[in-house]
Chain A
């Protein structure tokens, strides 16, 4: 605040602040100056003064006010509604199995019931739409689903089996490539069953090798007894009627029959929600009629079950993917790249990783020296064969080489002249021990003649015979006797007929009397015994005649195993993959035109 004297007798007050305090007002000089008028000029000066009035602003300036809105803006909500399908229903001909017992009759320790394990379905990587991903994420755990009385299971599955079901459930293209004996059948049946009950499937076609049809029927009756099955069989008129059946959601057909009904399936305009191929390695050759037949079937989902998705070369996997998702894999892909591309569609577990409860599997390489008679026959056959192939020069084909290989391998089994067999001597000794201990053994060979020769020599052990020459209607009986008859200790099987699908877990000894070209086929054979439910440790004896073609083939088999490891275990191959003609000819140090060949399994 500032004050100044005004000669006109007024006070000027210039407030410099907008707010005047009481103390400031009190301090103003209120006395007016007085003077005497002595003349006119002075009189004029006596006129009443006109004081300037100043109104000091005693109010403060307009005070600003802020209004805070506490009303929250409308909350943004994302909403998803999920389709509810009519569950598949039928006249239930069989009751649901009783609830899971406390002890898994498979023989292995059951999962601890105290642990609240929950296996959740995860959306596959190729499901992009959020709503679809949420639909899978929000499904109840598998343990919850099968806790439902209508979906009870006869035995409590292992944790890895739940994971297998959770893998299959959301996938439209999938390969379940578990090692043999881990229960691919049960996992596939359970996934199908859950999808059928959820209404996501209404028609399923399962294709398997003919000898396994009865096995699938048995497994369905065990794990999904409420699901009626139509097995496609009989004459064409009957099959036409069966194909058109709509009462049962499940049809089971074998590969051979499917080839015959290729036209019929197309003519009837059949369409399936899901087609499952068992032993899917059968379609590895894209040019085969089998592959073409299954690829033609109209379907929404495609699953493949195989313990050996790669038998000979990475192209085997390409062949299977041609059924699942044509063009997704191609031959030019490097194994590592192929493995990465296939990763989200393939689930592969091995027993040593997931089935720690399974009894151990022990390998014994029974390396035997040929008897002198055998050696003489062998040397003669080899020399003659090599000379003949050499003389043929460029006219020698892979077929000629194979013929020689087979001839030499047969001599390693039995000398055609003397009947000598070093392998048999060793085998007979082992089998006596097996029988004496009351156990059972299975013996594999690639030749029916070898199996029959063995059967003749092992009569005292009452061996069963199971090979391609045994009529299908008798095969179940052979297995049944071997399972039930305590006096029967030996079953002789061919790789072709007995290598897949059979459950022989009560046998504790496996003998590979001769070696197959492909280690995957050998694994299949071994795992007939070494699978869930195995009573005890399984001992595998692999016969190998020293300094023979068998030893050279063994080296080839080891290299093949590396192919598999590269794709499914993501490790670099140590040596070149594949088997070339050159390598086959190289077994006999022969020269041949270069180029890859496909060795049939």
Chain B
């Protein structure tokens, strides 16, 4: 059996970040080929912000952790060219500010279900908790769109990503983009179970 040329494959990244009461934050990043089979998997050691970070980063802490520290680190590990990166964690969309690849949030509700209109601003609680430092810390405005049976969203300030994602993922339109996150969660659990045992 020979190894295939992974560089030439169309690959899609899936990023999720889990929050654990004791351990802190753990990031998992799965890269799949167009058949949905795994090419690479990367996961971080648990990250737990200290007290000083909590005080000094204030409301920007999560975007720093999700986007810069975990998201950016993981995405840099990819050894293949990616069509796009999907995440199921809204706060992880911040990673888009540090990478050139389009990043989309996979919304849980299936396309066609009742919900906000396509152009609705979906950031939860945004209007009620606007802050002067919102540019760094608050949830970004999202622009929703449908891709096959998936409902995706991109940050408003990266609205061009919509077009790019729609074009790049045309061949994967039947793909259930929410499914791989379940795999990542199991793999993170397995990896940490293994590290504990070691």
- Is A388 part of the contact surface with B, judged by Cβ < 8 Å? no
- Is B40 part of the contact surface with A, judged by Cβ < 8 Å? yes
Q: Give 1 or 0 for each of B30-59: 1 = CB within 8 Å of chain A CB.
A: 101101111111111101000011001100
Q: Across the interface, do A75 and B44 meet the contact criterion of CB distance under 8 Å? A: yes
A123 to chain B minimum Cβ distance, whole angstroms, is: 8
Could you say which of A76, A81, A133, A138 has the most chain B C-beta atoms within 10 Å of its C-beta? A138
Q: Across the interface, do A78 and B191 meet the contact criterion of CB distance under 8 Å? A: yes
Which segment of B81-89, B137-145, B153-161, B180-188 sits at the interface? B180-188
Q: Across the interface, do B187 and A134 meet the contact criterion of CB distance under 8 Å? A: yes
Q: Across the interface, do A137 and B70 meet the contact criterion of CB distance under 8 Å? A: no
- Is B176 part of the contact surface with A, judged by Cβ < 8 Å? yes
Q: Give 1 or 0 for each of A264-294: 1 = CB within 8 Å of chain B CB.
A: 0000000000000000000000000000000
- Is A80 part of the contact surface with B, judged by Cβ < 8 Å? yes
- Is A79 part of the contact surface with B, judged by Cβ < 8 Å? yes
| Cα–Cα, bound, A77→B77 (Å) | 9
| Cα–Cα, bound, A56→B47 (Å) | 52
Chain A neighbourhood of B33, CB < 8 A:
84
Task: Find A76's partner among B2, B44, B52, B187 (CB 8 Å cutoff).
Answer: B44
Q: Across the interface, do A76 and B45 meet the contact criterion of CB distance under 8 Å? A: yes
A75 to chain B minimum Cβ distance, whole angstroms, is: 5
Which segment of A46-54, A140-148, A403-411, A559-567 sits at the interface? A140-148
Chain A neighbourhood of B35, CB < 8 A:
140, 148
Task: Find A140's partner among B37, B41, B70, B74 (CB 8 Å cutoff).
Answer: B37
Q: Across the interface, do B4 and A77 meet the contact criterion of CB distance under 8 Å? A: no
Q: Give 1 or 0 for each of A64-88: 1 = CB within 8 Å of chain B CB.
A: 0000101010011111111111100
Q: Across the interface, do A75 and B45 meet the contact criterion of CB distance under 8 Å? A: yes
| Cα–Cα, bound, A118→B3 (Å) | 28
Task: Find A86's partner among B4, B6, B9, B186 (CB 8 Å cutoff).
Answer: B4
Chain B neighbourhood of A75, CB < 8 A:
44-45, 47, 69-70, 73
Chain B residue with minimal CB distance to A83?
A: B3
Q: Across the interface, do A77 and B42 meet the contact criterion of CB distance under 8 Å? A: yes
B45 to chain A minimum Cβ distance, whole angstroms, is: 4
- Is A202 part of the contact surface with B, judged by Cβ < 8 Å? yes
Q: Give 1 or 0 for each of A9-34: 1 = CB within 8 Å of chain B CB.
A: 00000000000000000000000000
Chain A residue with minimal CB distance to B9?
A: A84
Task: Find B73's partner among A70, A77, A202 (CB 8 Å cutoff).
Answer: A77
Task: Find B1's partner among A70, A82, A134, A199 (CB 8 Å cutoff).
Answer: A199
Q: Across the interface, do B56 and A77 meet the contact criterion of CB distance under 8 Å? A: no
Report the number of A-B residue pairs with Cβ-Cβ less than 8 Å: 109
Q: Across the interface, do A85 and B1 meet the contact criterion of CB distance under 8 Å? A: yes
B115 to chain A minimum Cβ distance, whole angstroms, is: 18
- Is A198 part of the contact surface with B, judged by Cβ < 8 Å? yes
A116 to chain B minimum Cβ distance, whole angstroms, is: 8
B175 to chain A minimum Cβ distance, whole angstroms, is: 8
Q: Across the interface, do B52 and A137 meet the contact criterion of CB distance under 8 Å? A: no
Q: Give 1 or 0 for each of A172-207: 1 = CB within 8 Å of chain B CB.
A: 000000000000000000000000001110100000
- Is B194 part of the contact surface with A, judged by Cβ < 8 Å? yes
Q: Give 1 or 0 for each of A231-258: 1 = CB within 8 Å of chain B CB.
A: 0000000000000000000000000000
Q: Across the interface, do A145 and B36 meet the contact criterion of CB distance under 8 Å? A: yes
- Is A130 part of the contact surface with B, judged by Cβ < 8 Å? yes
Task: Find B42's partner among A70, A78, A200 (CB 8 Å cutoff).
Answer: A78
Residues of A within 8 A of B (CB-CB), count: 34
Q: Across the interface, do A135 and B52 meet the contact criterion of CB distance under 8 Å? A: no
B55 to chain A minimum Cβ distance, whole angstroms, is: 9
| Cα–Cα, bound, A72→B44 (Å) | 14
Name the interface residues of A351-387: CB closer than 8 Å to any CB of B. none
Q: Across the interface, do B40 and A82 meet the contact criterion of CB distance under 8 Å? A: yes
Task: Find B2's partner among A77, A85, A134 (CB 8 Å cutoff).
Answer: A85
Q: Across the interface, do A130 and B190 meet the contact criterion of CB distance under 8 Å? A: yes
Q: Across the interface, do B2 and A86 meet the contact criterion of CB distance under 8 Å? A: yes
- Is A139 part of the contact surface with B, judged by Cβ < 8 Å? yes
Q: Across the interface, do B42 and A198 meet the contact criterion of CB distance under 8 Å? A: no
| Cα–Cα, bound, A21→B4 (Å) | 80
A199 to chain B minimum Cβ distance, whole angstroms, is: 6
Name the interface residues of A547-587: CB closer than 8 Å to any CB of B. none
Q: Across the interface, do B52 and A80 meet the contact criterion of CB distance under 8 Å? A: no
Chain A residue with minimal CB distance to B73?
A: A75
A459 to chain B minimum Cβ distance, whole angstroms, is: 58
Q: Across the interface, do B182 and A138 meet the contact criterion of CB distance under 8 Å? A: no
Q: Across the interface, do B42 and A85 meet the contact criterion of CB distance under 8 Å? A: no
Chain A neighbourhood of B73, CB < 8 A:
75, 77
Q: Across the interface, do B36 and A144 meet the contact criterion of CB distance under 8 Å? A: yes
A249 to chain B minimum Cβ distance, whole angstroms, is: 12
| Cα–Cα, bound, A80→B43 (Å) | 9
Chain B residue with minimal CB distance to A133?
A: B190
Could you say which of A75, A120, A148, A202 has the most chain B C-beta atoms within 10 Å of its C-beta? A75
- Is B79 part of the contact surface with A, judged by Cβ < 8 Å? yes
- Is B119 part of the contact surface with A, judged by Cβ < 8 Å? no
Chain B neighbourhood of A120, CB < 8 A:
182-183, 186
Chain B neighbourhood of A139, CB < 8 A:
37-38, 183
Chain B neighbourhood of A140, CB < 8 A:
32, 35-37, 179-180, 183
Q: Across the interface, do A144 and B176 meet the contact criterion of CB distance under 8 Å? A: yes
- Is B174 part of the contact surface with A, judged by Cβ < 8 Å? yes
Chain A residue with minimal CB distance to B184?
A: A138
Q: Across the interface, do A82 and B38 meet the contact criterion of CB distance under 8 Å? A: yes
Chain A residue with minimal CB distance to B197?
A: A130
Contact A79 B40, CB 8 Å, known A85-B2, A138-B30: yes
Chain A neighbourhood of B44, CB < 8 A:
75-78
Chain A residue with minimal CB distance to B79?
A: A81
Q: Give 1 or 0 for each of A502-517: 1 = CB within 8 Å of chain B CB.
A: 0000000000000000
Q: Can you name 25 A-B pairs with beta carbons within 8 Å?
A: A70-B52, A70-B56, A76-B45, A77-B42, A77-B44, A77-B45, A78-B195, A80-B40, A81-B40, A81-B79, A82-B38, A84-B9, A86-B4, A118-B182, A130-B191, A133-B190, A134-B41, A134-B187, A137-B187, A138-B41, A138-B183, A138-B187, A141-B179, A147-B174, A202-B1
Q: A75-B73, A134-B38 are in contact. List 11 more A-B contacts (CB 8 A).
A: A77-B44, A78-B45, A81-B40, A82-B37, A82-B41, A83-B3, A134-B190, A139-B183, A140-B32, A140-B36, A200-B1
Instruction: Report the 5 A-B pairs with minimum CB-CB distance, sorted nearest first.
Output: A84-B4, A138-B38, A76-B45, A140-B36, A85-B1
